[in-house]
A and B are shown apart, each in its own frame.
Chain A
C-alpha cells in the first residue's frame, strides 16, 4: 500500500516560500500584536472612576431582593416575612423598594461623557481594523497567499481575491486582505492565551460569569446604559409580594432519617432503642430522659411544682 502522500497533490499550486516568510507569517504576527496592544490599551485607559454611591446602593438592594426571592425557602417563615417586610413595607411603613425619587430609565443621549467613552472605544476598534486592511492592501497587493482547505464557489472570488486578476484560479486561493480578516477573527483565542493574567482577563471572567452562572459577578454589572431603576424596583416588589414561602426544612427530619424515622408513639422507647449514638443530656446540662433511662428528680416531681 502506498504511503499517504503528504505534500503537493497535482492540483495544488506551489508557491514561493518567500511569500510565506514575508507575507503569511508577518500578517499573523502583526494582527496578533495589534490585538494585544488594543486589549492592553483599553484596559489601561479604563480609569478608576468610583461608582456613584446611590446607584450602587440601589443595585445592591435589588440584588438582595432577588436573592431573597430565590433562596427564601431556606429560612423559616418568620425570618422570611421580616425580610420581606423590610423590602416591601408593611402596614404604614414604607419598604426599601418603595423609595421615592428613584430615577427612571437613563437616557444614554443625556449622558455626554458616557457616550463619548463608548464611541471612543468603538472608534478605536474600527480604526485599527481599517488601518490593518490598508496595510495589507498596500504591501501585499496582488499576491496569492493562502489556500483555504475547503472548496468555495466562484462567486467568492470577487470578495476573496481582490487584486488578483486570474479568472481561472480556484476560489480557494485567497489574497492577503482575506487572510488578514481570517487572522483577525481567529486570533482571539491565541491572544487570550498570551494575556492570561489578571488584567485583561478580568473582563472576560465577568462575561463568563454571566454566561455560565447566570448570576453576574459582584452583584451586578457596572453602569450599563438604560438601567431603569424605577421599573426594576416595582418589578422586584411585585415579585416578592407574590412569592409563596414554603419552608424547606419543614420535614427535613423525615428526609434525613428515612427508614429510621420513629413511627411508634413512645418517644422514649424509640429514643432508647435507636442504634445511632445520641447526645448525652449530661453533656448539655439539659434535664430530660438520659440515655440510661434514669430520670432526673425534677421530672418525677408533682406537676404542682413542689
Chain B
C-alpha cells in the first residue's frame, strides 16, 4: 500500500493554482496530478474492498442486505479516512474534481465485485470447509 506520507506529498503538489477558484468559476486542476490522485484513491478503495470482503466472510455475514450494508459502511469509512487526510491540508476540490459529499460514495460499484468474491471466499473457507 502506498505510504501515506508519500501520498500526502504527492497530493500537496497536485493543484496547479488554488487561487483560480476566485478568478474563474471553474476550478482548474493539473490533469496528470488528478490522474495520479485518482489512481491512489482507487488503489486504497480496492484494498478496502478485498479486506472488507474477507472480514465479512470470516465473520459469517449472510444475506444480501447485510453484505451490502457492510460494504457501504466500509466504503464510507475509508472515504472519511481519506477525507480526514485531505482536510488537514486543503479541500477535496483541490485534489479531485468532486465535492466532498460525492467523494464519500464515489466509484463504489467498481469494487463491489471484488468485495463479493472475497466475501464468498471467506465465508466458504471458514464456514463450509
Cβ of A61 within 8 Å of any chain B Cβ, yes or no, is no
Chain B contact-residue range equals 35 or more
Interface mask (A201-236 → B, CB under 8 Å = 1, otherwise 0): 100111011011111110000000000000000000
> In this complex, what residue of A is CB-closest to B22?
A255
What is the total number of residues of chain A having a CB less than 8 Å from a CB of chain B? 54
The answer to whether B129 and A20 touch across the interface, beta carbons within 8 angstroms, is yes
Please tell me if A149 contacts chain B, counting CB pairs below 8 Å: yes
Q: How many A-B residue pairs have CB under 8 A?
A: 138
Whose C-beta in chain B lies nearest to the C-beta of A183? Answer: B117
Say yes or no: A7-B127 contact (C-beta < 8 A), given A146-B120, A208-B39, A211-B38.
yes
Q: Is the CB of B24 within 8 A of A71?
A: yes
Known contacts A186-B114, A217-B32: does B125 contact A208 (CB below 8 Å)?
Answer: no
Contact with A along B31-42 (1 / 0, CB 8 A): 110111111001
Contact mask for chain B residues 3-43; partner A; CB cutoff 8 A; 1 contact, 0 none: 00000000000000000101110101101101111110011
Of B42, B64, B117, B128, which is in contact with the most chain A CB atoms at under 10 Å from its CB? B128
The secondary structure that dominates the A interface is: helix
Q: Which of B42, B61, B115 has the most CB of A within 10 A?
A: B42
B126 within 8 A of A: yes
Assess A147 versus B128: contact at CB under 8 Å? Given A71-B24, A185-B113. Answer: yes
Residue of A nearest to B111 (CB): A189
Interface residues of A in 66-118 (CB under 8 A from B): 70-71, 73-74
Contacts of A201 in B (CB 8 A): 39
The answer, yes or no, to whether A304 is at the interface (CB within 8 Å) is no
Contact A212 B37 (CB under 8 A): yes
- Give, as a whole number of angstroms, the nearest-CB distance from B67 to chain A: 6
A248 near B31 with CB under 8 A, answer no
CA distance A147 to B127 in the complex (A): 9
With known contacts A73-B24, A209-B35, A150–B43 Cβ distance under 8 A? no
Query: Which chain A residues border B121 with CB–CB below 8 Å?
Result: 24, 28, 146
Partner of B35, one of A8, A148, A186, A206: A206
A29 within 8 A of B: no
B26 touches A70 (CB 8 A): yes
Contacts of B124 in A (CB 8 A): 20, 24, 145-147
Asked if A50 is an interface residue, CB under 8 A from chain B, the answer is: no
The reply to whether A192 and B43 form a contact with Cβ atoms under 8 Å apart is yes
**In whole angstroms, how far apart are the Cα atoms of A145 and B23 in the complex?**
61
| Chain A, 1-60, CB within 8 A of any chain B CB | 4, 6-9, 12-17, 19-20, 24, 28
Most buried by B among A16, A206, A215: A215
Say yes or no: is A249 at the interface (Cβ < 8 Å to chain B).
yes
A209 near B50 with CB under 8 A, answer no
Shortest distance from the beta carbon of A116 to any chain B beta carbon, whole Å: 30
User: Closest CB of chain B to A74's CB: distance in Å?
Assistant: 6
Verify B23–A189 contact, CB threshold 8 A: no
Instruction: Tell me how far the C-beta of B3 lies from the nearest C-beta in chain A, rounded to whole angstroms.
Output: 13
Query: Which among B37, B50, B97, B114 has the highest number of chain A CB atoms within 10 Å?
Result: B114
Alpha-carbon distance A156/B126, docked complex (angstroms): 24
Q: Which residues of B contact A255 (CB under 8 A)?
A: 22
Known contacts: A20-B125, A209-B35. The answer to whether A188 contacts B113 by CB under 8 A is: yes
Chain A residues within CB distance 8 Å of chain B: 4, 6-9, 12-17, 19-20, 24, 28, 70-71, 73-74, 145-151, 182-183, 185-190, 192-193, 196, 201, 204-206, 208-209, 211-217, 248-249, 252, 255
Nearest first, the 5 A-B pairs at minimum CB distance are A186-B117, A209-B35, A212-B38, A213-B34, A150-B64
What are some 11 contacts across the A-B interface (CB < 8 A)?
A24-B124, A24-B125, A71-B24, A74-B20, A146-B121, A149-B119, A150-B64, A186-B116, A189-B49, A209-B32, A217-B35
